[in-house]
Amino acid sequence: MSEKKETVVVLGASDKTERYSNQAQRLLSEYGHEVIPVHPALKKIEGLVVVPNLAAISNDTKIDTLTLYVSAAISANLSAPIIQLHPGRVIFNPGTENPELMQSLLAEGIPCEEACTLVLLRTGQF
């Protein structure tokens, strides 16, 4: 288990327990991380307040990790809001790969990796 607790944004959060984003949210919480779920329509997931979009997250909030659970078609227009948050890193989970977005984030000094949040957590690499 990770020693350092992080603030983690789950972009593409879901209230459906079979979804990987929901599993990641629960495992992140179980490991003691502060989770900020993002979904345009949901109000609460697993007891956590959901924000409708990245712009709804206060600029005063230090985001350690932004983990993506949305398709490249959805994330294509999110470069500016992600850069505005300036997370410590962005994880592109399997199926969310977006080389253009990754390049624009890297150009702004935001570290990115293609990895699985669930695997990172379970193997102590988060």
For residue 58, is it within any domain?
A: yes
Total tally of structural domains belonging to the chain = 1
For residue 27, is it within any domain?
A: yes
For residue 2, is it within any domain?
A: no
Residues 6+ positions from 86 with CB-CB distance below 8 Å: 63, 108, 110
With a cut of 90, say whether residue 57 has pLDDT above it. Answer: yes
Give percent of the chain with pLDDT exceeding 90. Answer: 94
pLDDT of residue 3: 60
For residue 1, is it within any domain?
A: no
What's the average model confidence in pLDDT over 71-80? 95
Residue 77: domain span: 7-122
Where residue 86 sits, what CATH number does that domain have?
3.40.50.720
What's the average model confidence in pLDDT over 99-110? 98
Output the average pLDDT for the chain: 95
